[in-house]
């Protein structure tokens, strides 16, 4: 399953455990980075913290939907990063302006 950290719900795919699943999970985790958790579980009912589950029917669909989670993550992160840069820049200007007084 794929989950964007600190957001409710996840994308899930029912599949058989094995080498194909393990390679897929490793590959997609590396591609998406670690803002999106890729987790393999055996029983969704045992992991209520990931609800609601949105099941997809193929590896391809899972990869597409997980990529959309990543894009959502970037949309929220970029404004925060711009805000942080702006605040640091203003602080630097303030400090340099008043350091000579």
Per-residue pLDDT at 78: 47
* Cα 20 → chain centroid: 22
Q: 18-22, 27-31, 37-41, 68-72: which has the minimum mean pLDDT?
A: 68-72
pTM for this structure?
Answer: 0.66
C-alpha span between 30 and 2 (Å, rounded): 13
**45-86: pLDDT as tens digits:** 888 888 999 999 999 999 999 988 876 554 444 454 555 555
DSSP states along 30-63: HHH-SSEEE---S-GGG-GGGPSEEEESSHHHHH
Residue 36: CB atoms within 10 Å: 21
**34-46: pLDDT as tens digits:** 888 998 988 888 8
């Amino acid at each position: 399953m794929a989950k964007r950290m600190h957001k409710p719900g996840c994308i899930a795919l029912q599949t058989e455990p094995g080498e194909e699943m393990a390679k897929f999970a490793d590959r997609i985790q590396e591609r998406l980075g670690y803002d999106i958790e890729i987790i393999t579980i055996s029983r969704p009912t045992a992991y209520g913290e990931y609800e609601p589950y949105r099941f997809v029917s193929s590896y391809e669909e899972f990869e597409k939907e997980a990529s959309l989670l990543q894009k959502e993550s970037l949309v929220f992160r970029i404004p925060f990063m711009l805000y942080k840069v702006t605040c640091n820049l203003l602080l630097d200007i303030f400090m340099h302006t008043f350091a000579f007084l």
